[in-house]
Amino acid sequence: MAVFRIFSRAADHLALGLGGINVTDLSPIYRIAGLGILVAVLNIFLVQAERKEQAQMLSLAGVIIVLLWLVQMVGQLFSDVEAVFRW
């Protein structure tokens, strides 16, 4: 039990040292994967209905949404790195 407490405290210290962010937070990956699956299914339906232009626009919108999410995450990363090196 004592070994578990030591590792638990070390993990808590690491999470606090990284700005309180949980290191194993996979929700952004699940969110991107969910959007990708949704766009893929809707794309298949639109192609089958011979609405290829709408399917292409849907795919483009999905890519733009994911890129906006990634820009926000990179901005958060830069602010976290800046906070680590700030005196």
Q: Which of 14, 65, 4 is nearest to 39 (CA)?
A: 65
17 in a domain, yes or no?
Answer: no
pLDDT reported for residue 9: 54
With 60 as the cut, is the pLDDT of residue 78 above it?
Answer: yes
Neighbours of 55 (CB within 10 A): 19
35 in a domain, yes or no?
Answer: yes
pLDDT reported for residue 56: 95
15 in a domain, yes or no?
Answer: no
The domain of 77 spans 25-85
Over residues 4-63, the pLDDT tens digits come to 454 455 455 545 555 555 567 889 999 999 999 999 999 999 999 999 999 999 999 999
pTM exceeds cut of 0.85: no
With 90 as the cut, is the pLDDT of residue 69 above it?
Answer: yes
The domain tally of the chain equals: 1
**78, 86 Cβ separation under 8 angstroms:** no
Separation CA 43–CA 62 (nearest Å): 11
